[in-house]
Amino acid sequence: MSDAHHDHHPKGITRWLYSTNHKDIGTMYIVISMIAAILGGTMSWYIRLELMEPGIQFIDDFQFYNVLVTAHGFLMVFFVVMPAMIGGFGNWFVPMMIGAPDMAFPRMNNISFWLLAVALVLLLLSALVGAGPGTGWTVYPPLSSATFHDGPSVDFGILALHVAGASSILGAINLITTILNMRAPGMTIHRMPLFVWAILITAILLLLALPVLAGALTMLLTDRNFGTHFFDPGAGGDPVLWQHLFWFFGHPEVYIIIIPAFGIISQIVSTFSNKPVFGYLGMAYAMSAIGVVGFVVWAHHMYTIGFNVNTRAYFTLATMVIAVPTGVKIFSWLATMWGGSIKFEVPMMYAIAFIFLFVVGGVTGVTLANASADLVLHDTYYVVAHFHYVMGLAAILAMMGGYYYWIGKMCGRQYPKKLANLQFWVFVVGINILFFPQHFSGLAGMPRRIPDYPDAYAGWNFISSVGALITIVGTVLFFIVVWRTFASSEKVEANQWGEGATTLEWTVDSPAPFHTFEETPDMTGRQPAE
C-alpha cells in the first residue's frame, strides 16, 4: 500500500492521469483554470480593443465578434472561476480543513477533472468548426436554433456544457459527501470553517441547478437535430421556456461562482484581523439563505419578455430580499476587521478590494432588481458593469486572494511580496478603470454585444479600454508572480500567517505532504475553526 509512507507517491503519468489524490487533482484544476483564463482574458481584451473607438477596428466579421463574446463568457464561468474555486481550492482545502485524508470518492474526483478537460476541448472545437456559436452564453433560441446556427458549432457547445455539467455534478456529490461524512470527530456542522460551509452550499446548488440546464440543453439539442419543437412557437413550443429553464439554472450558477469567494474572503479577513469571524453562525446561515433564495429569483433576468404585473412584483421583491443576507455578510466582514490587529498582507488587500467591488456590484444589483428600471437598463452596459463587479471580478479577486493566501501551503515557497503588492495595485486599479465607466455608458444606453456604437459613447469606451490595457499588465504581472514564487528559494513555515490562522491546514507542513491527516485530529471541544 503506497499510502503507508508519507511522501511515497506514484510517478509520472500514473500520478497525474490516473490520480486519486485530492491535492494533485486540485493542482490540475488550478492549472486548467489558468490556461482557460489566458484564453478567456485574451478574448475580452480583443473585444475591448475593438470597442476602444467607434467604428470597426479589427473585427469586420460580426459573427466572429459574437463568438468571442460567447466563448469569453463560457470560459470564464465554467473553465476559470468554477475550476479554480471549487475544483482547485475546494479540492485542496476542504479535506484538510475538516481533518480528512482525502475526498470521499478519490477516483470520481479524477473523472470530474478529466471530464472538464474534455469539455474544454469540445468548447474550443465549437469555436473552431464552422461559423462558431454566436449565441451569447445564454444560448437563447431562436438564435441558437438550427434556423440561425445550422452548423455543428452550437451542437459542440451544447455537448461541452453537458460534459462540464456532468463533471460538476460528480464533483458536487463528492464534496457534499466528504463534508457530511468525513469531518474529524468534534467538528460539528456548526464548527466547520466558513470556507467549508461555502463549498457545501455551492455544491448543493450545483447538484440541484445543473441537471435542469442538462434537461434544457437536451431539449435544444433534439430541437436542432431530431425534430422536437420545445422552443418552436410554430408547432406549439415556447422560446420563453428556454429562458425559464436556463435562468432557473443560471441564477444559482452566479451564486455557485460567488459563494466560494465568500468562503475564501471569510478565512482571509479572519486570519489577517487576528480575530474569529464576527457572527460565525450568521455568516453560515446567510450563505445558506442566499443559496435558497437564489432558486426563486430567476425571472429577474427576463423582465423584458412581458410578464404580468404580479409576476414582476414578486420577482422584484424576492430579488431585493437577497440584499439582506448579503448585507449580513458585508457587515460581518467589516465587524471582523473592527478592532482587529490588521495585517495588510497581499491576501488581505485582495479581500478588502473584494468587499469594495462586491458592494458596488451589489448596489447596482438592487437597482436592476426593479422590474421597471430594468426595462430601461436591460441589455445595456450597465448590466455588464453590474455582473462583472459583483460576480466576475469579485470572484477573480477572491481567487487571487486565495492564491496568495494558500500558495505557501501548496508549494512551500514564499510569493515575492513587493512584486505581489505591485501586481495587486495595477490589477485592481485596472479593473476599476475598465468597468466603472461602463455604468455611465450603460445608463446612457450603450447596448451589449455589439462591435460598434454611436460616437456619443466614445469617451467612456475609450477609458474602459485603457483600463483593459492596465488589466493586461496586472495579469501578466500575476503570472510573473506565479513564476517567481515557484522559482523562489524562500521556504515558508507550516503556519506562515501566525496566530490568526486557526484552521487545520496550517497545522501540517508546507508544502503539505502528499497525504495529510492519516491520523485523524480530535476536534472535540474546539471552537469553530475560524
Length of the chain: 530
Cβ–Cβ contacts within 10 Å for residue 152, how many? 16
Q: Which of 167, 316, 319, 471 is catalytic?
A: 167
Residue 112 designated active-site: no
Residue 144 designated active-site: no
**Does position 111 bind another protein by CB under 8 A?**
yes
Alpha-helical regions (H) of 105-152: 106-128
Q: Which of 326, 380, 441, 502 is catalytic?
A: 326
User: Per DSSP, what are the bridge partners of residue 380?
Assistant: 447
Q: Which of 383, 294, 277 is nearest to 328 (CA)?
A: 277
Q: Taking CB under 8 A as the rule, which mask of x and - marks residues 87-106 in contact with another protein?
A: -------------xxx-xxx
Q: How far is CA 496 from the centre of its chain?
A: 27
Residue 60 designated active-site: no
Q: Say if residues 28 and 19 touch (Cβ distance below 8 Å).
A: yes
**Does position 138 bind another protein by CB under 8 A?**
no
Q: Given candidates 85, 159, 187, 277, which one binds another protein under the rule CB under 8 A?
A: 159
Q: Given candidates 23, 72, 149, 224, which one binds another protein under the rule CB under 8 A?
A: 224
Name which of residues 242 to 271 contact another protein (CB under 8 A). Answer: 244-245, 248
User: Per DSSP, what are the bridge partners of residue 423?
Assistant: none
**Does position 225 bind another protein by CB under 8 A?**
yes
Residue 61 designated active-site: no
Residue 378 designated active-site: no
**Does position 309 bind another protein by CB under 8 A?**
no
Three-state SS across 84-118?
HHHHHHHHHHHHHHCCCCCCCCHHHHHHHHHHHHH
Give the number of C-alpha atoms closer than 13 A to the C-alpha of residue 18, restricted to the C-beta side.
Answer: 7
Residue 499 designated active-site: no
Among the listed ranges 18-26, 32-40, 337-345, 403-411, the one in contact with another protein (CB under 8 A) is 18-26
Q: Given candidates 73, 140, 229, 363, which one binds another protein under the rule CB under 8 A?
A: 229
Q: What are phi and psi of 447, to 5 degrees?
A: -75, 155
3-state SS class at 491: strand
* Cα dihedral: 88, 90, 93, 98 (round 10): -160
Residue 251 designated active-site: yes
Cβ–Cβ contacts within 10 Å for residue 307, how many? 16
Q: Given candidates 53, 238, 379, 452, which one binds another protein under the rule CB under 8 A?
A: 238
Please give the Cα distance from 497 to 424 (Å, whole number): 19
**Does position 147 bind another protein by CB under 8 A?**
no
Q: Given candidates 68, 76, 82, 169, which one binds another protein under the rule CB under 8 A?
A: 169
Q: Which of 301, 388, 409, 413 is catalytic?
A: 301
Number of residues that bind another protein (CB under 8 A): 88
Q: Which is nearer to another protein, 155 or 530 (CB)?
A: 155
Q: Given candidates 57, 63, 138, 218, which one binds another protein under the rule CB under 8 A?
A: 218
Active-site amino acid positions: 72, 102, 137, 167-168, 251, 253, 255, 266, 300-301, 326, 329, 448
